[in-house]
Every structure is written in C-alpha cells, then in structure tokens.
C-alpha cells in the first residue's frame, strides 16, 4: 500500500462519496455522545488540512465515542468540528479521507500480536511489527508527524526496562530516572512524572519512616501536603488502572468486536483523552 501523501485520487473520491451519502453529511442530525459532554474537542488543527499529530488527536477524540455513536456518524461529527474551526470544504473532504485511512490502519493494527510480558525485548518486538505496519499506510515523514512524540515515550520506556533488568538498587534506579526525565521531552515527563513523584515519596518515607506530620516538621507543611497529595492522586490512578484491567478480564469471553466496543465505552466514561494516553503507557509497560 502506498503512503498517504500520494493518495490524491483517493481524497477526491472520498470527498465525492461524502457528499453523495446523506447519512455521512454533516448536516444530518446525530445524537450527542454523553461521554464527550462538557469536553473540549481535542486537536489544535489550524484552519486548513495538514496531516499532523493534532489532526490525529481530533480523529481519536471522535473515535472515543464509538459505542455511543455509530461509526457512520463520526465523519459528520468530525466535519462539523472542522467547519467550526473555519475549514474550507475541500480541506474537510481531505480530512475525511485521511480519517477513513486512519481507521483502516487501526483495523489492521488490531490484528498485530500484543506483547505477553512487559520486557524490553517483548515490547521492542511488538513495536517493530507495528512500525512495519505503519509503513504500509504512511510515509516516514507522516509517521514522524503523527507519532513522533509517542516515539520519545516508547524509547524512554525501553531504556527504563533495560535499566531495571541490570539489578540496580531502588535508589540507583530512581537516580537514573530522575536524571533521564530531567533531560527528556515534555511528553515523556508527562507520562512518567507522576510515577516518579510517587517513587520519590515512597523512598523518602521508607528511609525515614515519616508520617505526614514528620514530613511537615522536616520539610514544611506545604511540601508535606504536596507529597501526600501526590501519593493520593497516584493511588487513585492505580485504582482506575486496576478497575480497567478487571473490566478487560470480565469481557474476555465476548467476541472481539463486542469486546472492543465495550472497552471503548468504558474508556470514554472513565478516562479523559490525556488519561487514555497515560493508560496506554502504563499497560504497555506493565506498570502497577
């Protein structure tokens, strides 16, 4: 399959189909997705078509409503949101073709084997297979535009797992992570920063056996409250992840299509768009 950048005839045909079939027309009435109520549409996509990570974020935003909305309604919702951003119809049609192409990629991706263990070798093998699939759908330049930020997170994940396999002490591992995160891109810091803060707190408490009052006495009330708040937030997040894993197990007997729809509905109800990105990092890394 050729890269998307040379698919001009496909863009034109998709635009024509979009106009011909009324159920995909943006003016057709479509019920709202309850999980997206009071949320801001993801993706600062500008005012004209350009395949980018921001546009992919817009695609993912509407795809998160699968289960609440039929797939046939999503192009219309996407088009409506782009029209509100001031896009011309030709650019909207190009985006709709790209949206259909992206869904084809996701369908193919669902067939790629998932890693059975959270080891550097397992993840690297799975991501290598996924990257080969991406190259069937997108050019290297497009892959860098769409997933460049995620690549930095994945690289850090592999390095972190490799460090953990060296048999270093917890304090040595923590020191490496502190130094590495300080030099890492913002996307990596956002993905791993919360778990690092909790690890720092746990190490501090283990070393000193400190309660909140003891921490306050040594570091001040503000620092102690921040540390305890970070721990509470992380514990709440771990609870959400554990509940999600339980949900996955409870759906194991369903056919794959029904399972995917049920999980999409669960994710939409319980996770924000940013939390879903973080969830993928946690699950792929086997973090608890």
Strands in 27-83 per DSSP E: none
Residues 136 and 25 occupy one common structural domain: no
Q: Tell me what pLDDT residue 127 has.
A: 87
Q: In angstroms, rounded to a whole number, what is the distance separating the alpha carbons of residues 165 and 172?
A: 12
Estimate the crossing angle of helix 170-182 against helix 186-208, to 10 degrees: 150
Residue 2 lies in a domain: no
68-127 pLDDT per residue, tens:
888 888 999 999 989 988 899 999 999 999 999 999 999 898 888 777 667 788 888 888
Residues 233 and 164 occupy one common structural domain: yes
Residues 268 and 249 occupy one common structural domain: yes
Number of domains in the chain: 2
Residues 214 and 74 occupy one common structural domain: no
Choosing from 75, 109, 143, the residue where a domain stops is 109
Residues 82 and 130 occupy one common structural domain: no
Residues 60 and 164 occupy one common structural domain: no
Q: What is the DSSP letter of 72?
A: G
Choosing from 76, 109, 142, the residue where a domain stops is 109
Question: Is 64:267 a contact under the CB 8 Å cutoff?
Answer: yes
For residue 66, list its beta bridge partners.
69
Tokens 């546009």 belong to: 55
Residues 44 and 124 occupy one common structural domain: no
Question: Is 241:280 a contact under the CB 8 Å cutoff?
Answer: no
Choosing from 109, 133, 167, the residue where a domain stops is 109
Q: Tell me what pLDDT residue 8 has.
A: 33
Q: For the chain, what is the largest distance between any 2 Cα atoms, rounded to a whole number of angstroms?
A: 71
11-69 pLDDT per residue, tens:
333 333 333 333 333 333 445 666 777 677 877 888 889 888 889 988 988 888 887 88
For residue 145, give its domain range. Answer: 120-285
Residues 146 and 274 occupy one common structural domain: yes
Residues 68 and 149 occupy one common structural domain: no
Q: In angstroms, rounded to a whole number, what is the distance separating the alpha carbons of residues 240 and 230?
A: 15
């Amino acid at each position: 399959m050729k890269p998307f950048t040379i698919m001009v005839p496909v863009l034109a045909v998709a635009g024509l189909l979009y106009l011909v079939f009324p159920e995909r027309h943006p003016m057709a009435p479509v019920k709202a997705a309850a999980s997206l109520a009071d949320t801001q549409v993801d993706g600062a996509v500008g005012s004209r078509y350009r395949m980018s990570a921001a546009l992919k974020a817009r695609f993912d935003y509407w795809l998160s409503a699968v289960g609440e909305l039929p797939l046939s309604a999503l192009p219309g919702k996407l088009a409506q949101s782009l029209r509100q951003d001031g896009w011309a119809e030709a650019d909207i049609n190009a985006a709709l073709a790209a949206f259909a192409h992206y869904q084809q990629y996701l369908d193919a991706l669902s067939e790629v084997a998932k890693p059975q263990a959270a080891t550097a070798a397992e993840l690297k093998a799975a991501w290598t297979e996924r990257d080969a699939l991406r190259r069937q759908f997108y050019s290297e330049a497009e892959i860098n535009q769409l997933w460049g930020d995620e690549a930095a997170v994945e690289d850090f994940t592999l390095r972190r797992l490799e460090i953990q396999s060296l048999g270093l002490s917890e304090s040595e591992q923590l020191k490496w992570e502190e130094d590495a995160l300080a030099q890492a891109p913002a996307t990596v810091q956002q993905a791993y920063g919360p778990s690092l803060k909790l690890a720092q707190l746990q190490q501090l408490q283990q070393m000193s056996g400190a309660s909140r009052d003891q921490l306050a006495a040594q570091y001040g009330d503000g620092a102690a409250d921040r540390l305890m708040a970070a721990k509470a937030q992380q514990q709440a997040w771990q609870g959400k992840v554990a509940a999600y894993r339980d949900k996955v197990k409870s759906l194991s007997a369903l056919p794959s299509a029904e399972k995917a729809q049920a999980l999409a509905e669960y994710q939409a109800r319980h996770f924000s768009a940013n939390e879903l990105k973080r969830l993928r990092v946690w699950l792929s890394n086997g973090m608890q």
